[in-house]
């Protein structure tokens, strides 16, 4: 068992022993995140469910992480439900809007996807993934100038963001051939 996993389990045991709900919430959430990072999604869901059962005020991160886990398991309906829950608890969680946009885009609901990406960018203007995703949505609609601007914006945030660089080069190459 990796050292980080052991440390997190010890923290959880300590929190459970002390009866501190906030510590138990944090420990379960961190274990869930650890298991997401290690692609052990069923274990992640178990600890995130335990975090959500803790009696704490703000559970938006646990709902978001559980939604992310469902997303990675390709259970898009459950993912959408948890992203909605996370936004009800914390309306400023831009990442949840971005993932909702990805789900809408995957379902072919481009207008809904664009709305979610815009909302994410309004909350977090430097969210390169949302800038890229909005650009890709516009590219999907044939709005190449808007897409190019958004890819460029994403690269201003992170000049090494390869997906935006690739799409921008693809667009510029296509324009040069015309």
In tens, the pLDDT along 120-149 reads: 999 999 999 999 999 999 999 999 999 999
List Cα–Cα distances, 120 to 16, 80, 106, 117, in angstroms. Answer: 36, 15, 17, 5
Give the whole-angstrom CA distance, residue 175 versus residue 35.
44
Give the whole-angstrom CA distance, residue 111 versus residue 143.
13
In tens, the pLDDT along 20-69 reads: 899 999 999 999 999 999 999 999 999 999 999 998 888 999 999 999 99
Confidence category of residue 156, pLDDT binned at 50, 70, 90: very high
Considering only CA atoms, which of 14, 12, 66, 77 is closest in space to residue 43?
A: 66
Give the whole-angstrom CA distance, residue 170 versus residue 148.
10
Q: How many CA atoms lie within 13 A of 131 on its CB side?
A: 21
Confidence category of residue 81, pLDDT binned at 50, 70, 90: very high
pLDDT at 178 over 70: no
Bin 148: left if φ > 0, else alpha if -120 < ψ < 50, else beta.
alpha
User: Would you say the pTM of this structure is higher than 0.75?
Assistant: yes
Q: What pLDDT is stored for residue 174 in this prediction?
A: 74
Q: What pLDDT is stored for residue 129 in this prediction?
A: 98
């Amino acid at each position: 068992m990796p050292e980080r996993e052991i440390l997190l389990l010890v923290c959880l045991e300590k929190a459970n022993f002390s009866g501190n709900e906030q510590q138990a919430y944090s420990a379960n959430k961190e274990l869930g995140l650890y298991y997401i990072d290690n692609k052990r999604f069923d274990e992640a869901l178990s600890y995130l469910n335990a975090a959500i059962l803790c009696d704490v005020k703000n559970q938006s991160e646990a709902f978001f992480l559980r939604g992310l886990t469902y997303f990675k398991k390709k259970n898009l309906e459950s993912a959408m439900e948890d992203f909605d829950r996370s936004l009800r608890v914390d309306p400023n969680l831009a990442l949840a809007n971005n993932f909702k946009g990805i789900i809408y885009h995957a379902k072919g609901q481009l207008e809904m996807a664009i709305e979610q990406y815009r909302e994410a960018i309004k909350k977090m203007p430097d969210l390169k993934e949302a800038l890229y995703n909005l650009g890709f949505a516009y590219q999907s609609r044939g709005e190449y100038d808007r897409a190019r601007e958004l890819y460029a914006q994403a690269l201003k945030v992170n000049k090494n963001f390869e997906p935006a660089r690739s799409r921008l080069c693809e667009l510029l190459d296509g324009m040069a051939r015309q």
